[in-house]
Amino acid sequence: MLDDRYPLEYRLYPYARSTDQDAATPVRHPVVIMGGGPVGLACALDLGLKNVPVVLLDDHEGPGQGSRALCFAKRTLEIANRLGCAGPMVARGVVWNLGKVFHEDRKVYEFNLLPEDGHELPAFINLQQPEFERFVIDRIRAAQSAGAPITLRGKNRVEAVQQLPDGVALEVLTPEGPYKLEADWVIGCDGAGSPLRKMMGLGFEGRVFEDSFLIADIRMKNESFPTERWFWFEPSHKAGASTLLHKQPDGVWRVDFQIGWDVDRTEELKEPNVRKRLDAMLGADVEYDLVWTSIYTFQCRRMTDFRHGRVLFAGDSAHQVSPFGARGANSGIQDADNLCWKLAAVIAGEAPEALLDSYSFERQAAADENILNSTRSTDFITPKSEVSHMFRNAVLDLAEHHAFARPLVNSGRLSTPATHDDSPLNGPDAVTGAPERTRPGSPCADAPGEEGYLLRRLGGMFTLLALNCKVPSGADALGCAVVDMACSPEGALGQRYLGTRGQAIYLIRPDQHVAARWEAPTLSDISEALERAKGKV
């Protein structure tokens, strides 16, 4: 009845009977999260740290085994840092900067990502998804000990939901039988196959890509490869139409073979057949252990609306992208970042429910951007027509000799956070000559300051950042944190926030996106922008 659908990597929240199961009438909770993948866990932690009681229900008892997300981008790590769990992730993750691109058996070119200076966190790390989830759960455990109202319930499968006028009724199945629950709000983080979406009869439209990819995680025995990313287009070893080699922690390598649409999965996954591909690629004398193999296919699609009354969708349940460009988990964590402060503000009565519509608005646009990017990568890697194939190879041929063609080579673009340009929450952009990258709607770029990195100082509440000036008197009574920083025009902080101007005041949202900026605002300028950023205008 409640069998695991996949094997566990770690059993971190074993089933335990809750008193809710013995209640005569369904117990009501402010927030129930359905699904304990990276996105559900991030939501639980974020809300719990804001002192909003959350109950997370997952139909398993911990992170599942297997190779899924591997690349976690800087914005994800910054959010994890705000939540207090980036340290162990970065310590454990693999950082790489050098990439090589091959076509047939020739090296087309190599690139060094040369990440920009002046950021606390790396541009991205390679870390296995189950480990990422474990670090978030470790942090949840620590927060619980410090009193954060978070409950994780393993082997609690949501079977049915019903919208109530002011909440949601849920039916939950456990190994000891079913029980009923109620929630003021439900966050659906139940993954791409989202049972919640189906229970509510909601669509999930998009494009299917007719190709399969075989993942083999291998541990080298004697040999080792450098910590680089290697991508082959049409390798002459023919083990895949394209092949990716990527490093994970503990000397494990991810190899990803594009193997075509009409494949016999059982046959392909037999060890001798997997080894045949690997040997063709590595050479027959290289010894390795197979750690994990699987085959995946993918689609790019999203829900039309991420909010349905009292139910909010986040992560893969709301949108699905191809793995090229690592935008799945990374964008899901940004959903959590965007949603949780808004939900907490609505629950606390500090903002109208309409603020939650801005979650849909902003994250739907972000999902479109992610789908666009990952679709473009996919079309380059697996061209859909003869002409597209010809141009792809023309780009690769030219890239070998001419620098101009290299930016056209698309083997997956690094996941970057969305700027919410048309968001209804954005206020004035009133600093002439200030940099584009920190315009209203942008995620704040990190920069070092005298008292530590900027993003650390921003934390997770509305903040007025005063650069080379003071906030107008009375502004400290608006309920925002005030952070004063001095900066020079040459320093990273000045370059990223002042541009050619001498001073500025930024209003920054709890998710560290810029809400408004001025050179010299009045108190009422600021309070108006604050009202707008809380969805009150």
Partner 1 sequence: MPDRPQSALVTMPNIPDPDGFYSELIALHDGRSAQDSAALNARLILLLANHIGDRDVLRAAMEAAADSGHAR
**Which chain residues interact with ligand FAD by CB under 6 A?**
34-40, 57-60, 68-71, 129, 157-158, 189-191, 195, 215, 296, 315-317, 323, 326, 328-330, 332
Q: How far is the CB of 391 from partner 1 (least distance, A)?
A: 5
Tokens 């998009």, located at residue: 206
Q: Which two tokens stand for residue 456?
A: 């650390």
Q: How far is the CB of 390 from partner 1 (least distance, A)?
A: 5
Residue 129's alpha-carbon distances to 150, 191, 227, in angstroms, are 22, 14, 19
Q: Which two tokens stand for residue 239?
A: 């083990």
- Output 27 or 408, the one with its CB closest to partner 1: 408
Q: How far is the CB of 325 from partner 1 (least distance, A)?
A: 22
| Out of 98, 291, 408, 482, the residue judged to bind partner 1 by CB under 8 A | 408
| Sequential DSSP letters for 69-130 | --EEEHHHHHHHHHHT-HHHHHHHSB---EEEEEETTEEEEEEE--PPSS-SS-SEEE--HH
- Output 293 or 317, the one with its CB closest to ligand FAD: 317
The region of 49-57, 149-157, 399-407, 427-435 touching partner 1 under the rule CB under 8 A is 399-407
Q: Nearest 5 degrees, angle CA 88-CA 90-CA 94?
A: 125
**Which partner, partner 1, ligand FAD, none, binds residue 265 by CB below 5 to 8 Å per kind?**
none
Q: How far is the CB of 403 from ligand FAD (least distance, A)?
A: 28
Q: Can residue 391 be called a binding residue for partner 1 (CB under 8 A)? A: yes
**Which partner, partner 1, ligand FAD, none, binds residue 372 by CB below 5 to 8 Å per kind?**
none
Please provide the size of the chain in residues: 537
Q: How far is the CB of 411 from partner 1 (least distance, A)?
A: 17
Q: Can residue 21 be called a binding residue for partner 1 (CB under 8 A)? A: no
**Which partner, partner 1, ligand FAD, none, binds residue 332 by CB below 5 to 8 Å per kind?**
ligand FAD
Are the beta carbons of 144 and 152 closer than 8 angstroms? no
476 CB-near residues (< 8 Å, 6+ apart): 482
Q: Which two tokens stand for residue 98?
A: 């050098």
**Which partner, ligand FAD, partner 1, none, binds residue 402 by CB below 5 to 8 Å per kind?**
partner 1
| Out of 402, 479, 486, 522, the residue judged to bind partner 1 by CB under 8 A | 402
**Which partner, ligand FAD, partner 1, none, binds residue 91 by CB below 5 to 8 Å per kind?**
none
CA distance 398 to 365: 34
Q: Can residue 286 be called a binding residue for partner 1 (CB under 8 A)? A: no
| Out of 228, 397, 519, 528, the residue judged to bind partner 1 by CB under 8 A | 397
In the DSSP assignment, the letter for residue 432 is T
Q: Can residue 171 be called a binding residue for partner 1 (CB under 8 A)? A: no
- Output 34 or 183, the one with its CB closest to ligand FAD: 34
Binding-site size, partner 1 (CB under 8 A): 11
392 CB-near residues (< 8 Å, 6+ apart): 233, 380, 383
- Output 393 or 495, the one with its CB closest to partner 1: 393
CA distance 427 to 537: 11
SS (H, E, C) 94-105: ECCCEEEEEECC
CA distance 499 to 508: 18
- Output 312 or 395, the one with its CB closest to partner 1: 395
| Out of 398, 469, 478, 485, the residue judged to bind partner 1 by CB under 8 A | 398
Q: Is 431 helix (H, G, I), strand (E, B) or coil?
A: coil
Q: Is 295 helix (H, G, I), strand (E, B) or coil?
A: strand
Interaction site with partner 1 (CB under 8 A): 390-391, 393-395, 397-398, 402, 404-405, 408
